[in-house]
Structure 1
Amino acid sequence: MTKTTKRIVKERRDYNTWVATETLEDYSLRYAPKSFRKWSEFLVANTAIGGISFLALEAIGGSLVINYGFANSCWAILIVGAIIFLAGLPISYYAAKYNIDIDLLTRGAGFGYIGSTITSLIYASFTFIFFAIEAAIMAQALKLYFNLPLSIGYLVCSLVIIPLVFYGVTLINKLQLWTQPIWLLLMISPYLFVLYKEPNALENWLNFAGNSPSGAAFNPLLFGTAATVSFSLIAQLGEQVDYLRFLPTLGKENRFKWWFAVILAGPGWIILGCAKQLGGAFFATLAIKHGVEVAVAKEPIQMYLAGFASIFSDPKMVLFVATFFVIVSQIKINVTNAYAGSLAWSNFFSRLTHSHPGRVVWLIFNVAIALLLMELGVFQTLEAVLGLYSNIAIAWVGAVVADLIINKPWGLSPSYIEFKRAYLYNFNPVGFGAMAIASGVAIVAFIGAFGNYAQAYSPFIALGVAFILSPIIALITKGKYYIARENLHCQTNDINSLITCCICEQEYELADTAFCPVYDGPICSLCCSLDAHCHDKCKPSDSYIKTLTKNLYDRVLDGKLSPKMGIRVIRFGGIFSLSAGLIATIMGLVYYQGVLNSPDVPTAIHYPILKIFIVVYAALLVVTGIVTWWLVLSEESRELAEEELDKQNQLLQQEIADRQQVEAALQKLTHELEMRVEQRTAELSQALNSLQQAQTQLVQNEKMSSLGQLVAGIAHEINNPINFIHGNLEHANEYVTGLLELVETYQAEIPKVPPKIEELTEEIELEFIQEDLPKLLSSMRVGTQRIRDIVLSLRNFSRLDEAEVKTVDLHEGIDSTLMILGHRLKAKSERPAIQVIKEYGNLPLVECCAGQLNQVFMNVLVNAIDALEEQNLNRSFAEMQAHPDQITIRTTVLKSKNFVEISIQDNGPGISPEAQEKLFDYQFTTKPVGKGTGLGLSICRQIVVQKHGGTLTCKSELGKGAEFAIAIPIHQSKRNSIELVRCNDFSPTKKND
């Protein structure tokens, strides 16, 4: 099947680029890269811990102690706090290590790409439920101080948060940092003054019975019911993780600070959270003791009025300080709730709609839902709301924790966290299945179906079932549904290399990208989430669901309905059943909490109300059916439109291919002209080749009788080729002039040329060629006059191409090489001369290929000169004179007496250890483009090691220069007999004086 690569239209690229730009600090939908993690460990921890300033903790503690007495509430708070702390440790560690939020962590911890959407909804529900509770608490304070009606107070407390969260973490960081000292002072001081002035208040709390049937004593059923409410706080871990992902990378230098921040700001929040719940319980009993009605004693404003009364004697001052404290606390927490909620809604809707209008949109959406809950009186039903929510939240967290501490260490799931859509199945039965089953069982237990004890301990059931089912399902499925296709870069943590997304054209770290076969390029996780056209073609995502659907259609509906209608019916049935079940669940819970379980509703009217609920449910089913059918038809229309667009895309690509063929034909026509030019220049190339061959033959035949004879011989040999080149250059000039006249005549006679030829003319810059080509031939003519210079100073170096082994004096080869390089060693206007220090030892004559060894000397010395010149770019002339450049050449006979060593050392900048590892690799060079091919040292090593059986080594330190040591056998004829000695006894780093 032919692979089709989708093309990206400009409008889509512009939209994704806008989304990818982190406007208003939109950190949602992806992990936090290094560029985002610019805050210190302390600042991140302070911001995260500042988010637990919410007074709902005090309200929960007060509500628990009033309803269940001291012992039950105290033990529920402490035991649940310990469980939340233990659950938070692995979640916080993995989130901080991989720099991901709770949603992305859930994806890779057994829930799958779409499966984690449900948990995003759970988390979003937590944020707007607690936002509503916190704003209601602040509205109660405003009512007490300003006499502002609660309905208006709810609106004010909601709207004031929105501008503070517009700029995300940056402004929240500053807000938490500025308000932290004031908040801590106002929170702690009332407790100290109360304990000092009213020491019996503590005894009153310890003996407080409230509405508990067991009094202040412990009762297992009441303890379990109290724990259910306290368990709802476990979702707060998600808000803590939202900030922990901005921690710097863990390293040796920050290990202690990193772990301290993870523990303090992650699971450590529950330590202060438990203290605040216990403090709320204490202050609630204090408020009741001061005469506050039991019904309102759980309101934090009433609690702190009783607390601040021990500090200030003026009632107005007490009311002002208490109101100020409540406002500061609630703003600190609700900016966190609103920010975290906007992230959760962004994750939820981006996967369902493949659209991301920005975090600010979901910020307003989240606040609007919370405002609706406040107007409906969420604070009055605090225990019922939190009790139901805790069963679902604890099942979610329990499944995630089980995957992190059991499945991953035991190899039942991947050891790393994979969060990108391109590598995940949509649903993973391990985490998603464990959560669904555990929450279902717990909710059934919560409504009393399994008896009183199961109802009281429903969150413990949710936690235990989810924790046990996760590894069991992972074992049964063998971890098959964690990874849809292999991620070859899953263990790569190179945060310094950036990859450009082929859609939004922004740069991302490797961990935030995947390779997309549909678009044939790298794609960032955000663009991958927003894509609605690929249909997950890169992976076998949920193929089992499609197979199941097809089998169901074949068995039930095949032959009775058209294929299109059959698919419609199956889709309609699935969506309608899910929606109807969800509506039935919500209405059932409302009926149970608001009617059956309410003491204010008489038993006699339960049945009439139930009939009303049934009628409303039936009406909702009709509306749901219409909406569901409309959604099914809309989805089908969208799929048909996409298929049509794909066909049009294929036709367009075929047209492009045809035009490319036409372009190739035009290029073929122009090729003939190029061939004619090549034919005219072939003679010149042949002449140059002849010159090279003559030069090589001259070097091989010359016996170096004298420098004058060598120069004369070379001059004689190259005289004819030079004249030949001169003569042909004249002919080449005539041919080129004729071709240029032909082009000018063609342009004059045919002014209107085809677009492709005109485009080619501009591409090759024809006008420039017409002007520059004659100059080029003229410069070639000048160049031939200088060819004779190449034979100067070739005395011993003239043996360059000799392959025969001869007995030579290596010092002569070194000296001749230095003479050739004399122009580079001399002083120049920008630097003094390079000093050459010769420390020659008493070397015997050596059997070798002298010309090739001269080439080695040449390459090493040129590299040394280049290094010294590069060093001088950053030095003044005075520094060069004070510390002159030096090249030291030493020769010696090694200990084994079978090898000689030539050492060439400079005092240049040195070579880095990384470069030394690749120094002799083919085409490796440290020089800029155009200044070196990287072949010099590679050839040197071949000559020394392969040709002569020697060694070529380098020793260097940055700032201390470099030394190249060349060691070769004295007698090539004895190489076989001395090979063992050379391998065992010879060390290029040990020298013999």
Structure 2
Amino acid sequence: MSASQRILKERRHYNKWVANQTLEDYALRFTAVGGRHMSISKVGMTALGGASFLALEGLAAAVTLSYGFTNTLMAMLAVCVVLFITGFPIAYYCAKHGLDIDLLTRGAGFGYLGSTITSLIYASFTFIFFAIEAAILASALHVLLGIPLFIGYVICAVAVIPIVTHGITAISKFQVGTQFIWLLLQCSALAVVLIYEYDNLAGWTEFVAPQAPEGSDFNLVLFGSAVSIFIALVAQIGEQADYLRFMPPKTVENRKRWWFWLVLSGPGWVWVGFIKMLLGSFLAYLAFTQLMPFEQATDPTYLYTQVFLTLTESPVISLILAAIMVILCQMKINVTNAYAGSIAWSNFFSRLTHSHPGRVVWLVFNVSIALLLMELGIYQALEAILGIFAILALGWLGSLSADLLINKPLGLSPKNIEFKRAHLYDINPVGIGSMLISTVLGLLAYLGLLGEVAKPLCHFVTLLACFICVPLIAWLTKGRYYIARESANLSRFMSDEKRIHPAAIATLTCGICENKFELEDMSYCPAY
């Protein structure tokens, strides 16, 4: 006698609504091959649009004036190398398998429920940086257009919702459509600085932090303080991966373009960011030499206004260009922050509440949290906790990256990424154990309990612990907690469509909601 299930009418409607991928964008699922219809270059340019954010210039400006040129430069280089190395395997596996950062995490060492914790870390990153970036834009609107800050916060928060609601299609049109104008303004600013301020480059490279020991350029403590600010950007690779999962499958014909755009718009975003940080650092030094107050010398709006004033010699035109520049940069990044946040919250609450009202609900939720932080002024205090947040983020992403870079080549974990709940353990001690150990060690170092040398290097302590613990725990557990049961051969359930049309994408109909899904997204259940 075959098993049966009572299927409620509301449940059918619920599933069909959430199955609308124009709104959902595969928020909880593998990105179907049929949904990866954009060109490689378009996906790459969409992902690269997120690298426009002005917090890069703002952070570099503040760090330079606080810790000096040498410490800032060394910190930027160290962080960019770390972000590129840890981000490369994440971007590659997300693009190759069509997975967002959450599905990759659960299949690469954390387990089904284990990735719930990391989804919360990731969601926190999105609304923290949304609030910071929107505050920069609201401040610009106040300076340039006289819009009160509390109204500017609302405008900056609400403006992204219509774009992000319609997923990758609308986001891609916005990112690609504004890319040329942004690049033109960004490159113009860079050219102006190099042509008109070339004589000041030597003074910039000799700038020493006010609190540095006399006669010393490099200082380990100041270097570590600078790293703690920049390293919080490590979670940005998750946002890049959320776009790169829409990359078309790699083929013999497209492999060169596929690799180029993967590297450039995946981990390569850090080198675009590095150029922007150098520019922000130099502009801050110029402002410092002109006796500009610290608040203005670290505000990208003021800095770019001065650059465009040098270019046009017209206060009105320079304000207009600065306004366009700031609005474009901040809208481009906050569209990405809001989109990533909607996916992260979808994954977190679907496991916590066992329900999913739709990605759009969590989009509004994420933006609302950021708006509340801005209106209360709490976002200003968030910048002070970036160092601690970075330890948590590094514990997660360092463990994930170590699993992909070390365990898979050594055979300590399965070659493929198994992301389906039916085939995963709830908790995999490899990822969870490594994240817990590395985070605790990083926090102990941060508090100075591991010695004075380890304190400024606490983030490197965290990362090193990840790359030691991940293979060690996988070896001790013999990798048994990666896959709970093997996938069944589902091809026998296929209709004749694939045999009649060999080019057709293999799909199956779900026995519960009656929606069609691709084979990679399906599991076999004997009851249904």
Shorter chain as normaliser: what TM range?
Answer: over 0.9
Secondary structure of the residue aligned to 2:405 is helix
Q: Deviations over 1:614-660 (max 9, x none)?
A: xxxxxxxxxxxxxxxxxxxxxxxxxxxxxxxxxxxxxxxxxxxxxxx
Question: What one-letter code is carried by the residue in structure 2 that aligns with 1:355?
Answer: S
Establish whether residue 506 from structure 1 lines up as the match of residue 515 from structure 2: yes
Secondary structure of the residue aligned to 1:499 is strand
Q: Deviations over 1:348-385 (max 9, x none)?
A: 10111111111111111111111122234355446422
In the superposition, the TM-score normalised over structure 1's length comes to: 0.51
Secondary structure of the residue aligned to 1:51 is helix
Secondary structure of the residue aligned to 2:310 is coil
Question: What one-letter code is carried by the residue in structure 2 that aligns with 1:432?
Answer: I
Q: Deviations over 1:5-28 (max 9, x none)?
A: 543333322322222222425320
How is 1:461-472 mapped onto 2 (pairs within 5 angstroms)? 461-472=461-472
Q: Deviations over 1:445-489 (max 9, x none)?
A: 223333443221111111111121111111111111111111135
Q: Deviations over 1:779-838 (max 9, x none)?
A: xxxxxxxxxxxxxxxxxxxxxxxxxxxxxxxxxxxxxxxxxxxxxxxxxxxxxxxxxxxx
Cα distance change, pair 252–490 in 1 and its aligned pair in 2 (3 A): farther
Alignment partners' CA distance in 2, 1:93 and 1:182: 29
How is 1:154-193 mapped onto 2 (pairs within 5 angstroms)? 154-193=153-192
Establish whether residue 328 from structure 1 lines up as the match of residue 328 from structure 2: yes
Alignment partners' CA distance in 2, 1:382 and 1:417: 35
Residue 366 of structure 1 corresponds to: 366
Question: What one-letter code is carried by the residue in structure 2 that aligns with 1:388?
Answer: I
* Unaligned stretches of 5+ residues in structure 1: 522-993
Residue 865 of structure 1 corresponds to: none
Residue 203 of structure 1 corresponds to: 202
Cα distance change, pair 306–212 in 1 and its aligned pair in 2 (3 A): farther
Cα distance change, pair 491–193 in 1 and its aligned pair in 2 (3 A): farther
Cα distance change, pair 409–377 in 1 and its aligned pair in 2 (3 A): same
How is 1:85-124 mapped onto 2 (pairs within 5 angstroms)? 85-124=84-123
Asked if the contact 2:490/2:519 (under 8 Å) is kept, the reply is no
Asked if the contact 2:53/2:332 (under 8 Å) is kept, the reply is yes
Residue 651 of structure 1 corresponds to: none
Question: How far is the alpha carbon of 1:3 from its aligned partner?
Answer: 9.0
Residue 375 of structure 1 corresponds to: 375
Asked if the contact 1:68/1:210 (under 8 Å) is kept, the reply is yes
How is 1:438-837 mapped onto 2 (pairs within 5 angstroms)? 438-489=438-489, 496-517=505-526, 520-521=527-528
Secondary structure of the residue aligned to 1:508 is strand
Alignment partners' CA distance in 1, 2:377 and 2:386: 14
Question: How far is the alpha carbon of 1:286 from its aligned partner?
Answer: 1.7
Alignment partners' CA distance in 1, 2:206 and 2:436: 41
Alignment partners' CA distance in 2, 1:372 and 1:259: 40
Secondary structure of the residue aligned to 2:33 is coil
Q: Output the aligned Cα RMSD.
A: 2.0
Question: What one-letter code is carried by the residue in structure 1 that aligns with 2:141?
Answer: L
Asked if the contact 1:110/1:429 (under 8 Å) is kept, the reply is yes
Q: Deviations over 1:121-178 (max 9, x none)?
A: 1111111111111101101111111222322221221111111211111111111111
Residue 221 of structure 1 corresponds to: 221
Question: What one-letter code is carried by the residue in structure 2 that aligns with 1:46?
Answer: M
Residue 501 of structure 2 corresponds to: none
Question: What one-letter code is carried by the residue in structure 1 that aligns with 2:505?
Answer: N
Alignment partners' CA distance in 1, 2:138 and 2:200: 28
Residue 276 of structure 2 corresponds to: 276
Residue 139 of structure 1 corresponds to: 138
Asked if the contact 2:24/2:358 (under 8 Å) is kept, the reply is no
Question: How far is the alpha carbon of 1:218 from its aligned partner?
Answer: 0.8
Secondary structure of the residue aligned to 2:34 is coil
Cα distance change, pair 491–78 in 1 and its aligned pair in 2 (3 A): farther
Q: Deviations over 1:396-423 (max 9, x none)?
A: 1110111111111212111110111100
Structure with the higher fraction of residues in strand conformation: 1
Residue 857 of structure 1 corresponds to: none
Secondary structure of the residue aligned to 2:523 is strand
Question: How far is the alpha carbon of 1:105 from its aligned partner?
Answer: 0.4
Residue 495 of structure 2 corresponds to: none
* Comparing 377-386 and 57-66, the one that deviates more: 377-386
Residue 31 of structure 1 corresponds to: 30
Residue 46 of structure 1 corresponds to: 45
Question: What one-letter code is carried by the residue in structure 2 that aligns with 1:513?
Answer: M
Question: What one-letter code is carried by the residue in structure 2 that aligns with 1:18?
Answer: W
Establish whether residue 265 from structure 1 lines up as the match of residue 274 from structure 2: no
Alignment partners' CA distance in 2, 1:108 and 1:490: 20
Secondary structure of the residue aligned to 2:229 is helix
Alignment partners' CA distance in 2, 1:123 and 1:279: 28
Question: How far is the alpha carbon of 1:510 from its aligned partner?
Answer: 0.8
Asked if the contact 2:24/2:360 (under 8 Å) is kept, the reply is no
Alignment partners' CA distance in 2, 1:14 and 1:323: 45
Alignment partners' CA distance in 2, 1:353 and 1:475: 34
Cα distance change, pair 337–475 in 1 and its aligned pair in 2 (3 A): same
Q: Deviations over 1:224-270 (max 9, x none)?
A: 22112111111110011111111111111111111111111111111
Alignment partners' CA distance in 2, 1:379 and 1:198: 34
Alignment partners' CA distance in 2, 1:278 and 1:515: 53
Alignment partners' CA distance in 2, 1:51 and 1:489: 40
Asked if the contact 1:121/1:348 (under 8 Å) is kept, the reply is yes
May I ask how many residue pairs the two structures share in their alignment?
517
Residue 127 of structure 1 corresponds to: 126
Establish whether residue 249 from structure 1 lines up as the match of residue 249 from structure 2: yes
Q: Deviations over 1:649-672 (max 9, x none)?
A: xxxxxxxxxxxxxxxxxxxxxxxx
Cα distance change, pair 403–514 in 1 and its aligned pair in 2 (3 A): same
Please identify the structure whose Cα radius of gyration is greater. 1
Residue 693 of structure 1 corresponds to: none
Alignment partners' CA distance in 1, 2:383 and 2:490: 44
Q: Percent identity among equivalent residues?
A: 52
Cα distance change, pair 491–301 in 1 and its aligned pair in 2 (3 A): farther
Cα distance change, pair 441–392 in 1 and its aligned pair in 2 (3 A): same
Residue 308 of structure 2 corresponds to: 308
How is 1:851-870 mapped onto 2 (pairs within 5 angstroms)? none
Residue 390 of structure 1 corresponds to: 390
How is 1:869-884 mapped onto 2 (pairs within 5 angstroms)? none
Asked if the contact 1:58/1:276 (under 8 Å) is kept, the reply is yes
Asked if the contact 1:342/1:363 (under 8 Å) is kept, the reply is yes
Question: What one-letter code is carried by the residue in structure 2 that aligns with 1:185?
Answer: L
Q: Return the structure number with greater relative CO, CA threshold 8 A, min gap 6.
A: 2
Question: How far is the alpha carbon of 1:212 from its aligned partner?
Answer: 3.7
Alignment partners' CA distance in 2, 1:504 and 1:490: 18
Question: How far is the alpha carbon of 1:491 from its aligned partner?
Answer: 12
Q: Deviations over 1:58-101 (max 9, x none)?
A: 11111211111000010100111011111111111111111101
Question: How far is the alpha carbon of 1:290 from its aligned partner?
Answer: 3.1
Question: How far is the alpha carbon of 1:191 from its aligned partner?
Answer: 2.1
Asked if the contact 2:296/2:303 (under 8 Å) is kept, the reply is no
Establish whether residue 66 from structure 1 lines up as the match of residue 75 from structure 2: no
Asked if the contact 1:501/1:507 (under 8 Å) is kept, the reply is yes
Cα distance change, pair 375–388 in 1 and its aligned pair in 2 (3 A): farther
Alignment partners' CA distance in 1, 2:153 and 2:360: 20
Alignment partners' CA distance in 2, 1:360 and 1:366: 10
Question: What one-letter code is carried by the residue in structure 2 that aligns with 1:270?
Answer: V
Residue 883 of structure 1 corresponds to: none
Residue 295 of structure 1 corresponds to: 295
Residue 230 of structure 2 corresponds to: 230
Question: What one-letter code is carried by the residue in structure 2 that aligns with 1:414?
Answer: P
